[in-house]
Structure 1
Amino acid sequence: MSLLNHERDEKNGHVIKTRGRPALLISSTSWTEDEDFSVLLKALEDYERYVNEGVKLPSLVCVITGKGPLKDYYNGLINKLHFKHIQICTPWLEAEDYPLLLGSADLGVCLHKSSSGLDLPMKVVDMFGCCLPVCAIHFECLHELVKHNENGLIFRDSNELAEQLKMLFLEFPTLEGKLHNFRKNLRVSKQLRWDESWDQTVLPLLGQNK
């Protein structure tokens, strides 16, 4: 843990990330028509407006990873945006680097919409595996994975996403507020799943050896 990137919270003594640093937002995509990234770009335009209007929000670094046919199209849209408080980059990451980025991020965004309404986005599973809270666009059965107001938030359009970004980052980077609670819930959920797996798989085997 680098002391240059962290400081101690005066209220509770916990080590937190340095005040004044930008928040790290991450999304991943195969850059196809299944994901409408104009929703995220419009939400970021609203976020920039909030900051310009005086709302106390951190600057954002938005990383959108992946390869795909529409990447050049969306990069063209991104290049037309002239943000002062938001930086957007669209790298391709090696497999070993992706979980490191997820573990360093503050919030994930998922724009996957299931055409069948039945398949759950693996990118959210990856994010949750790194205890990264997620804002995800609504579709049928998403609630089985993303528990609204428990491990993340569900939005239906760019306006809702912009409002969620504003709400989540208002107290950034303190250890209070929804972002911190979502991350705590993900850690607890991860531990419970491990315990349940142990009880179901290993414990019966130990009992047989008595």
Structure 2
Amino acid sequence: MNNKDIFLINKSIEKLMKDNKEYLLELDQLFGDGDLGISMYQGFKGMLNNYDQEETDIGKVFMKMSRDFNESAPSSLGTILSFGMIGMAKATKGITELNSEQLYEALKSGVNNIVSKTGTKIGEKTILDSLIPAIENTKNLKNKGFKILARSMAEEAEKGAIETKNFVSKHGRASYHGEKTLGHIDGGAYVGKLLFEALSSYYN
């Protein structure tokens, strides 16, 4: 995986955010600010509009992505995803080509940075409910190549997103609704599912 691959994966993410914009808005309008689909699509679109396809240092690519995405998606989830990109940047500094193990470690670093910055854990009905299973449940596959790793990550992220139906929201505006949030998929977790869906589709 090099910068060209990362750019094309982000193009796939942008398309998924556009295609799922209305669904994300529906999920967010139940208990959140109601703008999730718009902010995520704008975030990836704005990031791609400023993308540096000439840079070879993947760490620098992710660092620039974090800044551009945060500016284009001024929302809490936009900031959270930027934390993830910063974590990935730190893990890939000076690297120009990633193998599947390095990609896994970069994604793990990104998720760990989100956990560290937000103080959130699994089971609190957030994006981490799809991101953490995608990492924790695939660590034995990190040396199996991109296709197997990405497909398994996507499956785990999807299961994690669906599982949020059984959780009560603990953060943000949704937390004010308490038990009413049961039975509904968390919008942020669904965004996490879409991220890994794009990665998997690129390699499968």
User: Does the pair score TM above 0.5?
Assistant: no
Calculate the TM-score normalised by the size of structure 1.
0.30
| Bigger radius of gyration among the two | 1
Q: Which has a greater percent of strand? A: 1
Q: Which has a greater percent of helix? A: 2
Calculate the TM-score normalised by the size of structure 2.
0.31
